[in-house]
Structure 1
Amino acid sequence: MLKKLLTSLVTAGIILASSQTLAETQWRTVSPDNLMVMTLPHGKVVFELASQFSPKHVAHFKALAASGHYDGNKFYRVIDGFVAQAGPDESAPENKDKKSQTIAMESEWSLVKSPKITPVQSPDLFAEQTGFSGGFALASDSEANKAWLTHCPGVLALARGNEPNSGSSHFYITNGQAPRYLDRIMTIFGRVVYGMPHVQAITRTAVIEGEAPVDKADFTPIVNMALMPSLPASEQLVIQVEDTESAAFAKKLVDRRDRSHAFFYKKPPPVLDVCQVPVASRIVPANIDKG
């Protein structure tokens, strides 16, 4: 039974930690009020929203989704190995009512006010220290007394213009390598916990030189964006993610840094990139013990 469950989760696109068994992993049930479901023509994507780090952005995003702001929007800037960006084409007549107010940045916060952080690497290429808190990868600088979320694959962030506080409703999902140079200058407010294969299947809009441009009619649309509790009961999912504050996760970090498996006949240096640490997630029956 367990083997069948594992197989189905992998098939569904749930990330599982290869170095741990299901029994060794400690889980945290995500509040449904913190799960946003984006329905695409080819499947669903579920975001865990980072309300503990970017509360104003999360509230803004929830309000926009509830108003139907994103329904029918298209992913108009999709670059392989970088981001998939979506938002309303505000020049289109059908979107004349889809303009949104701008929101001030929430790209960093006081380190002394941070919740518990499980450390990963010090120093990091982009920061003094990296770690995890509540399932989210972050970095910090003790001298500056600042902490911030990092641009690992699968994060959800608000797009903006050149001015820092110019973001409104357009958002992006990192779909490839970690563009860490965007850390601290963009506001991350969530991450994909289910459906990353569906993100990867979003039609690329950037083409190589010599190819015909992608027709806007072929851009991938957002069918619907809705908070989990607003969906019909039959469509709601209970999602658990790896508890990054647990002893089991700390052990996982040590194992990934040491690379003690026999496969590594030549040992890599004991360096651990925070964006190379997958945080496992799984769908569970609604009546499971959520402790």
Structure 2
Amino acid sequence: MNRIIAIALLAAFAATTPVLAQDNEKPDYPSPNAIVDTAPASEWLTIAPSDLLVMDLAPDAQGDARRVVIQLMPEPFSQGWIRNIRKLAAAHWWDGTSINRVQDNYVVQWGDAGYDNPESGETEQKALLEGLETVPESGYETEATAGKQGNIVLWHPKNQLTDSYSDWTWFESGWPLAQEIGDDTRTLSRWPVHCYGAVGVGRNYSPDTGSGAELYTVIGHAPRHLDRNIAVVGRVIEGIEHLSSLPRGKGQLGFYEDASKRVPITSIRLGNALAEDPSPAFEYLDTESEVFAQYADARANRRDPFFIKPAGGADICNIPVPVRRVTEE
């Protein structure tokens, strides 16, 4: 089964062709950015405003606004936690909470400081909403059947079709996913992965899985060891610089020991609940399109002028799905 898939994938990527050069000149291979910039409008898909989580932080020292926009995972992934997140946003639960953990090359975490850092001796500051779901650990992954993966599956020539954390990885509906083959080769387990900018649910020790009130985003090397151990509920699609540039916490796990270092959260709302006209609008490059196949190949095999030797492959997190803001004309 793996061999058949490998042949199909190699054929799909081999179909990507460079711009032909004149005479004996070197072929002109476009860069990944150039491929994205020239993608036709038909290759971009709209992100529903209701799938956006918009976090506004207190202004920075210069008085500039700081907004972080998160896209929530689609069905069937992590939906129990996401339903909780929608309820918390609708209730304005996060208003007045804070960014209270910044761990170098790892994560930025936000929510109520009392929940975040029980080792500091603080008590819980804010009661959780009633009626939030308790999601079982089985919710970290979902079953799939053979043949349901997307068109662009990553292969790893130095390690056959596997990476260090899964049997194979691929893109589906705009998201990077990983998969494991069951004993009968027809029962498949799949899950979203922890790439840069991924948003996950903070939790305590198992069997606790977190409610969704404590969230974090990855600001360092992709911590794939967290896959299937913590729920991934979304990704930051705009404003990651407002989180990744924050001073690192000096306490254990990067929590701020000095409460004055915490960054206040003024509000977190769903995109369709913002009191703005127009509300922020975004779209992503269709991961089942030929343009995305060309983009993925260019990321895996950099042949534009700066590069000397193509890598011949790519980690799933080294092919970020292009997302862009839609502006009114």
Q: Same fold (TM over 0.5)?
A: yes
Are the equivalent residues in 2 in contact too, given 1:76–1:86 (CA < 8 A)? yes
Per the TM alignment, residue 259 of structure 1 is displaced from its structure 2 partner at its CA by: 2.2
Change (3 A) 1:70 1:217: same
Q: CA deviation at 1:17?
A: 4.9
**Is 1:187–2:228 an aligned residue pair?**
no
Matches for 1:78-227 after TM superposition, within 5 Å: 78-88=102-112, 89-90=114-115, 91-92=122-123, 94-96=125-127, 102-105=134-137, 106-112=139-145, 116-117=149-150, 118-121=152-155, 122-143=161-182, 145-168=188-211, 169-206=213-250, 214-227=257-270
From 260, 267, 287, give the equivalent of 1:244: 287
Give me the whole-angstrom Cα distance separating, in 1, the residues matched to 2:251 and 2:123. Answer: 24
Match of 2:190, SS? Answer: strand
Q: Give the partner amino acid of 2:135.
A: I
Contact 2:94 2:111 in 1 (8 A): yes
Which SS does the other structure have where 1:266 is aligned? coil
Tell me the alpha carbon deviations over residues 104-152 of structure 1, each in whole angstroms, 9 at most, x when there is no partner: 2321111218954231232212111111112211111123611111100
Amino acid at match of 1:55: Q
Secondary structure of 2:96's aligned partner? coil
- What CA deviation, in whole Å up to 9, does each residue of 1:214-247 have, x standing for no partner? 5112111211110011112336111111211211
| Paired residue type of 1:191 | R
Distance in 2, matches of 1:54 and 1:101, equals: 12
Aligned residues: 267
Q: Secondary structure at the match of 1:233?
A: coil
Unmatched tracts of structure 1, length 5 or more: 1-15
Structure 2 CA distance for partners of 1:113 and 1:71, relative to 1, 3 Å = farther
Corresponding letter in the other structure for 1:142: I
For residue 316 of structure 2, what is the aligned residue in structure 1?
Answer: 274
Change (3 A) 1:286 1:267: closer
2:68 aligns with 45
Task: State the distance in 1 between where 2:206 and 2:146 align.
Answer: 27
Q: In structure 1, which of residues 5, 23, 33 is the aligned counterpart of residue 50 of structure 2?
A: 33
Q: In the aligned structure 1, how far is the partner of 2:279 from the partner of 2:32? A: 24
Correspondence 1:51-66 to 2 at 5 A: 51-52=74-75, 53-66=77-90
Which blocks of at least 5 consecutive residues in structure 2 are unaligned?
A: 1-30, 60-65, 116-121, 156-160
Maintained 8 Å contact 1:131/1:138? yes
Q: Alpha-carbon deviations, 1:190-216, whole Å to 9, x = none?
A: 1111111112133421369xxxx7511
**SS of equivalent residue, structure 1 residue 20:** helix
Change (3 A) 1:115 1:61: farther
